[in-house]
Structure formats: structure tokens, C-alpha cells
Amino acid sequence: MNTAKEYVEPTNLVDFNTPIVKEKALELIKGCTSKNDMIKKIYHYVRDEIPYTFTHNLQKASDVLKHQAGQCNTKTTLTIALLRAVNIPARYHCGSVSKKLFINTIPKWAYLFTPKLIPGHCWAEVFINDTWTAIENVVDLKLYEGIQCKMLDENQDESIGCGLSKDKFQKEWDGETDILMQDGALEVDAGIFSNADEYLAKAENFLNPIKRWVKNTFVKNAMNRKFNELRKYANKS
């Protein structure tokens, strides 16, 4: 099966033709002996070295590398860019999630005014072994383990904030099957994209200007503080 050229081309966001992205991709795959190893190196780098942090939907891959932080769509953009930089076909899978995904991290006062569905959730899919495979690497392992520890210690069944379940936990990609860290989070499937620039631009504007200002000025910072508290929780257990 041949994959379309569009899955190895740059876009405005997937700017792998910039020196910072190209050099990082080549650095990551140095010494790899197979395509599978290359994908794993890129997967783990973006998952754990780029902390899950609410930033801006329209960050280019090069910007994510410069700032060393990203959310679901920006970490996905970086993953796709790094893969395409070494000629591995990659694409977006996007859609909308329920606000319940963040019920314990969105401030209570803001949760009331948050729309039920939040668009712009994404993960990466890579073409390997003649098939497309999901490699969601959005939540860094420190945050993932902090959430798990807190949920287990407090005997909680409800997600603490990222849609992660204490009894559905897959830490590592096995190189063959789909890994979806936030499995079941998607409420509306928007489909697959080789170029998600336009989709993500629309998703960035799903709130009215006032709500968008409040989100960017107050809500994101509050949620990021909560994520940092959860990362520290793993060290206490």
C-alpha cells in the first residue's frame, strides 16, 4: 500500500523544513536501526520532554520546540513534524471532547461557562507495517503517573483532569497496536487530516472573544498550576 505524498509534506504548522525541527529529528533518530525505533524515539521525546501545558492551538512545530511545552494539538503537530522530517508518513486525527474531561482541572467558576464540547483535540497517527497506527503521546509520563497515584490513593473512579483512567493505563507503545492515552475521550470525530491548519484555526475560535480572553488570561494558567501539582503528587506516593 502506498501512502499519499501529502503525509510527508510540510504545512504552515508542520514546519519540519525549519532547521530547529530538522536538526532535532536527526538527533533523535541517531543510532536507530529500524523505522520502528525511530518512531519510538520521537514518540517518547514529545511525550515526556514536552510537558503537557495549555498553550495556543496554532503553535508551529518549531515554536513548540522553542518553548518546550504543548497541549494535545501542539504536541501532535510536533510529533507529525518530527516524523515527516525523517520521511515517515504521519497525520492528524481530530475531534471534539467533552468538557467533563477537565472537570477537576478547569476552575469551578469557569467550568459553568465552558461549552459542553471542546473542539481541537488531536493525536498523531503514523504509517507503519502497512497500516495507520495511533500513537497518542499527549500527556507526559510524570503527569500521567501523578494522576494515577492520586486516583488510586483517593479511590477515585472519575478522572482527575485529563480523561485518564486508573484501570486503563498503557504506558508504552508496543510498536504495533494503537495507543490512545485518553481512550474514549472523543465525543465527535472530525476525521483525519494531512493538513489540520484550517481545522485548528477554527477550533481556536470556538469561544466568543470575551470567553477566549478569560481562557487565555486566567483559565489556562490555573489549569497548568493544577497539572504541576499533579506531577509532584507522584513523588509523594
User: What is the residue-wise DSSP string for 72-88?
Assistant: HHHHHHHHHHHHHHTT-
Percentage of the chain lying above the pLDDT 90 cut:
63
Mean predicted confidence (pLDDT) in 184-196: 91
Each residue's pLDDT tens digit, 67-118: 999 999 999 999 999 999 999 999 999 999 888 888 888 999 999 999 999 9
What is the residue extent of each domain of the chain? Answer: 5-236
- Cβ partners under 8 Å of residue 138, min gap 6: 47, 52, 71, 72, 75, 76, 123, 181, 182
Question: What pLDDT, on a 0 to 100 scale, did the predictor assign at position 1?
Answer: 43
Query: Does pTM top 0.85 for this prediction?
Result: yes
Question: Which CATH architecture is the domain 5-236 placed in?
Answer: Roll (3.10)
More confident residue, 111 or 57: 111
The strand pair at 131-134 and 117-128 is best described as antiparallel
Region of 202 (left: φ > 0; alpha: ψ -120 to 50; beta: rest) is alpha
Question: What pLDDT, on a 0 to 100 scale, did the predictor assign at position 3?
Answer: 65
Question: What pLDDT, on a 0 to 100 scale, did the predictor assign at position 71?
Answer: 94
| DSSP conformational letter for 215 | I
- Reply yes or no on whether the pLDDT at 169 is more than 80: no
Highest mean pLDDT: which range of 19-23, 143-147, 163-167, 207-211: 19-23
Each residue's pLDDT tens digit, 131-140: 999 999 998 9
